[in-house]
Amino acid sequence: MILKNLFRWVVIILLVFSIYFSAVGYIDKAIDIIGMGDVAASNDEYLEQSFDKAVNGFLILSGIKSGLAVIEGSEVGVGFNLELGDLVQSVYDYVDIAWKTALAGGTIVLLTRLLLQAADMVDHWFLSTLLFFLLISLMIKWFLPKFLKFSSLLKEIYFFLIIFTIVLYIVLPFSITCSAFLSEKITRPLIQESQSSFESIKDEFSIDEISERIFAEEQTADEDGTWLSKLNIKAKLDRVGKNIKELANYFKEKTKNIAIWTIQLIAGYLFDSIIFPITFFIFLFIITKSVLLFLFEKRKNQTMVEDFSNLIIKYYGRVNKKEPVKKKYRMKPMRKIRHFPPGR
């Protein structure tokens, strides 16, 4: 009995110190030393690089979109006004989708970084609260058996606290780590390829470049020819018409490439920022919850039997062991004796 009480007080003292150390963050430092600090540093590096690449891609697409927006509302005059918007409309639509994708991807990456920072700020408070409820539950069970029902309620509370604590300490960081591994192998090359391709055509969609493509031959003829050649409107129109057809074919070819790059960018950011992290988070959460439910249901059944036994002992006294029951032998009935009449 003395050893039992000593063990209980040792557990209580350890829990009190653990509550204090977890509240001030010392337990977090110990957890970082055993490996979680490396996981957090890897996640920060991955998210920072992803955010920088998303911002760079967004700036590249913003430059292309600005140039196309100017071209879309511009006119060129060759004796008549020519609207250039019809030539670049399809290209502008795809670039606009890619621009929105890069913006959404960078925003989601930033939100993920903020979520990890928020989890790092509150996880030790959840751990401290968990240990506090565990301490209260054990003290009620050991010293206040009248409040066993209240103790069962506390067990339900710290079950959910265990889930939240494990999610903050393990599930959330490892879901980002696993998604970073798949991103490095699958989606990041797609995003980098798309951004490099968009960057390669950035200067080709400026208003100066478009005007030069349309009036290149005309400017050369004007510089080399006489004043009579400058009045040859029909020749100018023929040259401009030819250049416009070539420009239309050029935009048609680029539109196909831009559509492919946009689809790659959407798929890359969709898997990199949403599908991979959420899938791993749900997978790890389900495994964690299943294991905890299995352990708690087993422990709960055992605890219910113990609580019920304690209540019986308290109100009805200790049940004595049953004495062995002596086996009673039943006497067999004697067979009925037949009486025969005399003379036989």
Quick check: 36 and 176 in contact, CB under 8 A? no
Tell me: the pLDDT tens digits for 108-127? Answer: 999 999 999 999 888 889 99
**What is the per-residue pLDDT for 135?**
86
* pLDDT, position 79: 43
Q: What are the φ and ψ backbone dihedral angles of 203, each rounded to 5 degrees?
A: -80, -15
Distance CA 149, CA 146 (A): 8
Single out the residue of 155, 162, 161 nearest to residue 140, CA to CA: 155
Q: What per-residue confidence (pLDDT) applies to 232?
A: 53
Could you read off the pLDDT of 167-203 as tens digits, one per residue?
999 999 999 999 999 888 888 888 888 888 888 887 7
Q: Are 201 and 254 in contact (CB under 8 A)?
A: yes
CA gap 280, 287 in Å, rounded:
11
**How far apart are the C-alpha atoms of 149 and 152, rounded to whole Å?**
5
Q: Residue 41 corresponds to which amino acid?
A: A
CB count within 10 Å of CB 251 equals 18
Q: For the chain, which ranges sit under pLDDT 50? A: 77-81, 219, 221-224, 226-229, 302, 304-305, 307-308, 311, 319-325, 329, 337, 340, 344
Residue 75: exposure state from Cβ atoms within 10 A (0-12, 13-18, ≥19): exposed
Q: Is 266 helix (H, G, I), strand (E, B) or coil?
A: helix
Please tell me the distance from the alpha carbon of residue 161 to that of residue 133, in angstroms, as a whole number: 9
Give the span between the Cα atoms of 162 and 289, in whole angstroms. Answer: 10
Phi, psi of 81 (to 5 degrees): -95, 135
Do 312 and 227 form a contact (C-beta atoms < 8 A)? no
**Tokens 């129109």, located at residue:** 237
Q: How remote is the C-alpha of 313 from its chain's centroid? A: 51
pTM to 2 decimals? 0.72
Identify the bridge partners of residue 76 per DSSP, sorted by sequence position. Answer: 82
